[in-house]
Amino acid sequence: MTPAEAAEGADAGQHPAKALDDTVHQRIRLGILTVAHQARRAEFGFLRTTLDLTAGNLGQHLTVLEKAGLVAVEKGYEGRRPRTWITLTPAGERALREEVAQLKRLIHQIETADGA
Amino acid sequence: MTDASVPLPGTPREVLSGLGELTRRVRAVQRDSWIPLLLFGLVTLGGVLVGRLTFHQETVPCPGGPAAPGDTCTLMRQGSAAYWTAGLLAAYAATAWWYLHRSRRRGVGTPVRPYVLAGAAAVAALAVTTWWGASQPAPGADLDLWGLHLAADARATLLVQQFLGGAAAIGVPLLVLARIDRSRALALFALGYLLIELTPVTFGWWGAAAGPWSALSRHGVPALYLLTGALLFALANRRARPRAAA
């Protein structure tokens, strides 16, 4: 499900679990988006250390997020060291906000069901 | 490494809690509030010494009403506008450099520009006010602040002078830094600093130079507050970092 479809689903009043965006909900990608959101601009190595991932694994997830237009990847040099910086795009910010909102709705729904 | 290393396990509540933990980790790496607090504390403490070294007395005509011939008063002055302007500018430049250097070294962004802009504006206001204050020759006479006439001994005048002094030059940019760092603790600390800087108007322990060491009562408390804050924030940072790296 794309972020736009997820938002549409949430508006239509369907179960919050169905409105979760698969691209965003995958836990490593959700972690990447969260770190990038807080850091505003995160370096590849920082993401790798913080999320405790291998370079290959992180690279694959970044490619998925970049193709979905949720992150922007900027490559450059600092002195002679190659550096890769990741920033959230406005779509990424929206998708993360929507994911957190859906999770909160899910929790609310579970708690309401438990209380009934 | 596997996906299991990311602290975002199953249930929605656990996922949200995992996101909160990730956010705390990143914040712990981003924050270095103790650096500006230490620098401001040192500059403020230096103000005590500068006040002592620049203390001097002048004989001037007494203010208010026609004085009898030969009737003179002693005016005590201390402090240096150049010291505060240069000292605070150096503190802001060093903080900005540190944040940018650290941002590159740790690989995590910190938008330091709003803090630098707030600092530059605050120091400019402080410089203008301090230089202007030093150019007011007649003690006790009404002050002319760009056409605004302020009674020299009015509490409102003291409040304006103090706000345009340390309160604005240090307190307001600290609030901006708290916003950048998303730190409630630093915001509360900055409000405490503003209270210390502005409260003396009410209690009257702040005033004109009364002796060579009168700058001690003026700057001693804010300096001690800033340096204690630097120590506490450094300890809190140190405690948060290993947990963040774990």
Q: Would residue B7 count as lying in a domain?
A: no
- Ordered structural domains, chain A, with CATH: 3-97 (1.10.10.10)
Q: Would residue B37 count as lying in a domain?
A: yes
Cα–Cα dist A31/A47, whole Å:
9
Cα–Cα dist A33/B93, whole Å:
32
Q: Would residue B212 count as lying in a domain?
A: yes
Q: Would residue B2 count as lying in a domain?
A: no
What is the reported pLDDT for A84? 93
Question: Which of A27, A43, A100 is closest, CB to CB, to B107?
Answer: A43
- B22 CB within 8 Å of a chain A CB: yes
Q: For residue A51, list chain B residues with Cβ-Cβ distance below 8 A.
A: 5-6, 22
Q: For residue B109, list chain A residues with Cβ-Cβ distance below 8 A.
A: 39-42, 85, 87
Do B111 and A35 make contact, defined as CB atoms within 8 angstroms?
A: no
**Strands of B13-138, DSSP E:** 56-61, 72-77
**Count of Cβ atoms closer than 10 Å to residue B135 Cβ:** 8
Q: Would residue B16 count as lying in a domain?
A: no
Cβ contacts of residue B183 below 8 Å, gap of 6+?
Answer: B27, B31, B33
Evaluate whether B138 touches B152 at the Cβ level (below 8 Å): no
Q: How many structural domains is chain B composed of?
A: 1
Residue in chain A lying closest to B25 (CA) = A50
pTM above 0.80, yes or no: no
Q: Which domain holds residue B88?
A: 32-245
Which residue has tokens 């590849």? A44
Do B12 and A107 make contact, defined as CB atoms within 8 angstroms?
A: yes
Q: Would residue B15 count as lying in a domain?
A: no
Query: b/e map of B68-83 (b: 16 or more CB within 10 Å)?
Result: eeeeeeebeebbbbeb
Q: What is the phi-psi region of residue B182: left when phi exceeds 0, alpha when psi lies from -120 to 50, beta otherwise?
A: left
Q: Which of B2, B99, B108 to mutate to test the interface with A (most CBs of A within 10 A)?
A: B108
pLDDT tens, residue order, chain B (246 aa): 444 445 555 788 888 888 998 988 888 888 888 999 999 999 999 988 888 887 777 777 676 655 566 677 777 777 677 888 889 889 989 999 998 888 888 888 887 888 888 888 888 877 777 776 666 555 566 666 666 666 666 666 666 666 666 677 888 889 988 988 888 999 999 999 988 888 764 444 445 556 777 778 778 889 999 999 999 999 998 887 755 444
Chain A with chain B: Cβ pairs closer than 8 A? 83
Enter the ipTM: 0.78
